[in-house]
């Protein structure tokens, strides 16, 4: 395959981290590479010494090109990409290129929410069992950077943007955690989005699936299946008396785990199922779960001053993530639950939040572009102009035993650099009211 690539003329689209990793990999093989970025003022790293074209391209640009490797941030429907297809250029992503070259056992995780938690947890479990494992893809290392290295297993977090340009990825085990409204501005409909996520099962040997949700079941043929859920069952993974069970027997008490909420019960079950596929005994895997430190900004308690639980769930950039947080925390709350939500809804149907808001939330504080849409779903609403104001208001409302949850259900791009910046502003504002 390396010899075939070396004879081709390849265009790499996008100058982000993924695009840069593709350029490094291909130039290292001696491939003739051109770079194209759709942005007219994109910054070009100084180390890139191949031709770079910025902005829109015409049909002539694709003359003599064999392959276009598309970064996840550029839609396959972009006019420039359409011109490439019309010129007979093969369009793939870095995951597909990796799939054609890798011989390492691969485990894949996708879904609207929980991907990073399961990816990092599974990597932690495999490493704890003595396997040389690495997280890659949408989190961790770019996949092409791992080629030529000696790994027992690679754990791939795969977004819908990555899967839509992938067709031959062979996975030893895979899971589709959940489906909720997200990236509909890119995929057009929930059906199209779900179909894209289903591509993870195209060449999968063993699926690990949430038994209560049909949309998570493989639509393509998979040899074997492990199922999990929150029900009390004697088959595969279940949940009873705050403990995860296997074949009806308790194996992991959630009181011993740092991940909180019933949504994380499902995440842990998915990781345990995938670790079994990699050959890790369940007792070893469960012990590793107990020592796992949750990823930041994903339903993590960051303060408990004055007995108030401040929860940072800034990574909840879509409705499904916030629904999971409300279900996971709301069912276990002792005092009031004060929710801070809002931002750029990315075209999603925010009204699906209403049932959970009415069931679990006591006070709602809204902000951002689509804050008014969320506010219209609830009765005790306090619209604010910025996050520090929201934190001050929440502090005035909260007493010992209450929980303040930042779970926006929206992207951060209308008010912040990214979800990490939003979390930083949240934490700084808490520190000020606590001072």
Q: Which tokens hold the place of 4?
A: 């075939």
DSSP, residue by residue, 328-354: HHHTT-SS-EEEEE-SB-TT--GGGGH
Distance CA 200, CA 180 (A): 17
Measured distance CA(306)–CA(304) in Å, rounded: 6
113 as an active site residue: the answer is no
CA–chain centroid gap for 59, Å, is 35
Four-residue CA torsion sign, 185, 187, 189, 194: negative
Residues whose CB is less than 8 angstroms from the CB of residue 191 and which lie 6 or more positions away in sequence, other chains included = none
Cβ pair 145, 135 in contact under 8 A = no
Q: What whole-number distance in Å separates Cα of residue 134 and Cα of residue 104?
A: 11
Of 183, 297, 315, 382, which is the active-site residue?
183
Nearest to 185 by CA among 148, 160, 205: 160
Choose, from 115, 187, 309, 315, the residue flagged as catalytic.
115
Instruction: Name the token pair of 137.
Output: 């893809």
Q: Which of 113, 138, 264, 370 does the annotation list as catalytic? A: 138
Please state, in angstroms and rounded to a whole number, the distance separating the CA atoms of residues 22 and 142. 9
Confirm whether 7 is a catalytic residue.
no
Question: According to DSSP H, which parts of 181-318 are helical?
Answer: 184-187, 190-197, 262-277, 282-290
CA–CA separation, 269 vs 238, rounded Å? 8
- The partner residues of 90 in beta bridges, in order of sequence, read 67
Across the strands, what pairs with 235? Answer: none
183 in active site: yes
d(CA 229, CA 297): 24
Distances (CA, A) of 254 to 66, 120, 196, 316: 52, 18, 33, 22
Cβ-proximal residues to 432 (8 Å cutoff; 6+ apart), any chain: 388, 391
Specify whether the CB–CB gap between 257 and 290 falls below 8 A.
yes
Sheet containing strand 52-54, strands side by side: 52-54, 32-37, 9-13, 67-70, 90-93
Known catalytic residues are 115, 138, 183
């Amino acid at each position: 395959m390396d010899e075939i690539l070396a004879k081709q003329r390849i265009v790499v689209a996008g100058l982000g981290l993924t695009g840069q990793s593709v350029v490094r990999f291909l130039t290292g093989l001696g491939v003739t590479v051109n770079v194209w970025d759709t942005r007219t003022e994109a910054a070009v790293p100084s180390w890139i010494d191949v031709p770079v074209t910025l902005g829109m391209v015409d049909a002539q640009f694709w003359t003599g090109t064999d392959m276009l490797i598309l970064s996840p941030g550029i839609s396959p429907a972009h006019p420039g990409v359409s011109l490439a297809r019309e010129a007979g250029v093969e369009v793939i992503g870095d995951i597909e290129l990796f799939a054609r070259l890798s011989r390492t056992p691969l485990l894949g995780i996708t879904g609207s929410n929980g991907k990073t938690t399961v990816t990092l947890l599974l990597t932690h479990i495999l490493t704890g069992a003595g396997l040389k494992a690495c997280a890659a893809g949408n989190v961790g290392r770019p996949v092409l950077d791992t080629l030529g290295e000696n790994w027992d297993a690679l754990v791939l977090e795969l977004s819908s943007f990555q899967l839509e340009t992938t067709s031959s990825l062979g996975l030893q085990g895979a899971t589709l955690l959940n489906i909720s409204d997200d990236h509909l501005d890119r995929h057009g409909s929930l059906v199209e989005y779900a179909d894209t996520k289903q591509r993870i099962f195209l060449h999968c040997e063993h699926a690990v699936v949430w038994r209560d949700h049909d949309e998570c079941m493989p639509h393509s043929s998979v040899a074997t299946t492990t199922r999990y859920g929150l029900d009390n069952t004697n088959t595969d993974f279940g949940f009873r008396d705050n403990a995860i069970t296997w074949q009806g027997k308790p194996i992991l008490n959630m009181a011993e785990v740092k991940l909180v909420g019933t949504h994380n019960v499902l995440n842990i079950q998915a990781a345990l199922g995938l670790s079994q596929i990699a050959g890790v005994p369940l007792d070893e895997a469960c012990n590793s779960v107990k020592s796992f430190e949750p990823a930041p900004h994903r339903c993590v308690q960051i303060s408990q001053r004055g007995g108030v639980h401040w929860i940072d769930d800034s990574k909840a950039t879509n409705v499904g993530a916030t629904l999971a947080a409300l279900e996971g925390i709301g069912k276990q709350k002792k005092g009031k639950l004060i929710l801070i939500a809002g931002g750029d809804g990315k075209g999603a149907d925010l009204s699906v939040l209403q049932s959970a808001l009415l069931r679990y939330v006591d006070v709602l504080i809204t902000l951002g572009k689509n804050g008014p849409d969320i506010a219209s779903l609830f009765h005790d609403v306090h619209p604010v102009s910025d996050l520090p104001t929201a934190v001050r208001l929440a502090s005035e409302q909260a007493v010992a035993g209450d929980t303040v949850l930042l779970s926006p259900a929206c992207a951060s791009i209308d008010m912040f650099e990214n979800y990490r910046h939003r979390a930083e502003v949240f934490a700084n504002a808490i520190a000020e009211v606590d001072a």
